[in-house]
């Protein structure tokens, strides 16, 4: 039940079901903060060559987020005591 409260808003704001152009200002800000929207946009650009953010932006955001989460995971894993 908790996962639905996290995953469903991220999925609906990603642009997988509707285009990201012509959204209200509040939803535009929310979609720019959603990391899944960059992944969906990158796949859309690769498959049908229609990208909202651009391939470079999609790739850069996903690489930075992956590096941040990898660093956080490594730090948390190093603190585990057996």
pLDDT of 19-70, one tens digit each? Answer: 888 899 999 999 999 999 999 999 999 999 998 999 999 999 999 999 999 9
Q: What is the pLDDT of residue 2?
A: 81
DSSP-derived letter for residue 80 is -
Q: What is the pLDDT of residue 20?
A: 87
Q: Residues 15, 37: contact at Cβ < 8 Å?
A: yes
Residue 77 structure tokens: 């894993």
Q: Residues 44, 21: contact at Cβ < 8 Å?
A: no
Q: What is the pLDDT of residue 41?
A: 93
How far is it, in rounded angstroms, from Cα 11 to Cα 70?
22
DSSP-derived letter for residue 21 is T
Tell me whether residue 19 is exposed, middle or buried, using C-beta atoms within 10 angstroms of its C-beta: 0 to 12, 13 to 18, 19 or more.
Answer: exposed
Q: What is the pTM of this model?
A: 0.84
């Amino acid at each position: 039940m908790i996962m639905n409260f996290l995953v469903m808003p991220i999925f609906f704001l990603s642009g997988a079901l509707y285009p990201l152009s012509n959204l209200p200002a509040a939803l535009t800000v929310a979609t720019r903060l959603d990391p899944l929207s960059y992944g969906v946009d990158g796949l859309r650009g690769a498959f049908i060559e229609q990208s909202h953010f651009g391939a470079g932006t999609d790739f850069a955001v996903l690489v930075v987020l992956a590096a941040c989460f990898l660093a956080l995971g490594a730090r948390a894993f190093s603190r585990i005591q057996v």
